[in-house]
Amino acid sequence: MNELLVIGHPEVMEERRRWLAGLADERRLSEKTVEAYERDTRQFLTFLTAHLAGPPRLCDIRALRPADLRGFLAHRRKGGAGARTLGRGLAGLRSFLRYLERNGLANAAGAGAVRSPKQPKSLPKPLTHREALKVVAADAQLAEEPWIAARNVAVLTLLYGCGLRISEALDLTPGDFAEAATSLRVTGKGGKTRIVPLIAAAAEAVAAYRKLCPYHLAAGEPIFRGARGARLQPAIIQREMQKLRAGLGLPDSATPHALRHSFATHLLAGGGDLRTIQELLGHASLSTTQVYTGVDSARLLEIYDRAHPRA
């Protein structure tokens, strides 16, 4: 720790030392997280030293107001810190103040009144058409067991071909794939259901998996199984995708969720309208779909001009 670099009163520094030790020894936080919290509180105490024209004491910490914390965040933002850095820094300060509050040395209410900086929305990058088709190709799978390779193809094809979340795909049952079915009833976030088209490639991939699967697949149970017959877990598909990334030379952004993102992006690029894509994805808000597909104002105006009867 860089204790000698911190400008603070010894009583504050001792409590800070105990708090950091507790994070590592009792709460088992990672070394990187503890280092980040050490750095954030060091910067805060240095800011307070300049703000108060002297090293802060515990009584100064007790007297902190939300405006003081906002002033620190503004100072860090002016220095180039982004929203994620500021959010983590505020989390570290709240943790330190809660520690002091538990020991009767401060009040953490002021920190709780300060809202965390709004985080930028982060989405996986879509794969190209060629990359997505490689991922769902049967001959690209690396699993040694043929039925497991077929299972992986079926799940990944549902993500890319039908735009499902991985949890939605793994919740499907054999009963959802009635003979000659052309659509799926999917239960998404908040228990909301939607109907999505079942493309032929996805139906064929699921049929190939069912033919090879060594386990009995009852109508009301999950259709996708792990190697020992239990319900397939998302982490297994994520690991399989990681192997595929390495084998096919794809970027780290090629994740299972990126296949759903690619589904939406490729539909839009092919002329699909935003409202339909919203329904297929199960988004509650059209603005979510706009961000999800990377649609800008110019693209929205283009869609409007093409589709609106008064355009």
Residue 27 annotated as catalytic = no
Confidence of residue 270 (pLDDT cuts 50, 70, 90): confident
Query: Phi and psi at residue 231, in whole multiples of 5°?
Result: -55, 135
Q: For 56-83, what is the mean pLDDT?
A: 86
The pLDDT score that the predictor gives to residue 311 is 45
Q: Is the pLDDT of residue 136 over 80?
A: yes
- Check residue 253 and give its pLDDT: 86
Q: Is position 77 annotated as part of the catalytic site?
A: no
Domain boundaries, the chain: 3-112, 129-257
Please name the CATH architecture into which domain 3-112 falls: Orthogonal Bundle (1.10)
Whether 189 is catalytic: yes
Q: What pLDDT score was predicted for residue 310?
A: 59
What is the predicted pLDDT for the residue at 209? Answer: 97
Residues with Cβ within 8 Å of residue 194, at least 6 apart in sequence: 185, 186, 188, 279, 280, 282
Q: Is the pLDDT of residue 4 over 50?
A: no
Based on the residue annotation, tell me whether 209 is a catalytic residue of this protein: no
Split at pLDDT 50, 70, 90, the class of 304 is low
Condensed to tens digits (0 to 9), the pLDDT of residues 58-67 reads 898 888 888 8
DSSP assignment letter at 233: P
Please, are residues 235 and 225 in contact by the beta-carbon 8 Å criterion? no
User: pLDDT tens-digit profile of 220-248?
Assistant: 899 999 999 999 999 999 999 999 998 89
Indicate which residue of 165, 225, 261, 266 is catalytic: 165
Confidence of residue 297 (pLDDT cuts 50, 70, 90): low
Residue found by looking up tokens 């976030």 in the block: 189
Catalytic-labelled residue, pool 17, 189, 231, 243: 189
Active-site residue (options: 99, 160, 209, 292): 292
Name the CATH superfamily, with its identifier, for domain 129-257: Intergrase catalytic core (1.10.443.10)
The tokens for 79 are 């220095």
Asked if 254 and 131 count as a contact pair (C-beta separation under 8 A), the reply is yes
Q: Which amino acid is at 171?
A: D
- 165 included as an active-site residue: yes
Closest CA to 262 of 174, 140, 132: 132
- Copy the structure tokens of residue 171: 């919740």
Q: Which two tokens stand for residue 249?
A: 């030379």
CB atoms under 10 Å from CB of 203, counted, come to 20
CA 96 from chain center: how many Å?
Answer: 27
The predicted structure's pLDDT at residue 88: 81
Whether residue 208 has pLDDT greater than 80? yes
Supply the mean pLDDT for the chain.
Answer: 85
6 pLDDT above the threshold of 60: no
The string of DSSP letters for 95-129 reads HHHHHHHHTTS---HHHHTSPPPPPPP--PPPPPH
Task: Measure the CA angle with vertex 115, ends 110 and 119; round to 5°.
Answer: 150
Tell me which of 28-32, 180-184, 237-241, 297-301 is least confident. Answer: 297-301
How far is Cα 143 from Cα 243, in angstroms, rounded to an integer?
A: 10
Residue 13 tokens, joined: 């520094």
> Which member of 151, 260, 261, 266 is catalytic?
260
- The partner residues of 231 in beta bridges, in order of sequence, read 225
**What pLDDT, on the 0 to 100 scale, is given for residue 114?**
75
Active-site residue, from 76, 225, 266, 283: 283
| Structure confidence at residue 7 (pLDDT) | 66
Q: Mean pLDDT over residues 9-36, rounded?
A: 84
Torsion region of 227: left, alpha or beta (phi above 0 gives left; psi -120 to 50 gives alpha): alpha
Choice among 133-142, 204-213, 278-287 with the minimum mean pLDDT: 278-287
Q: Give catalytic status of residue 283 as yes or no.
A: yes
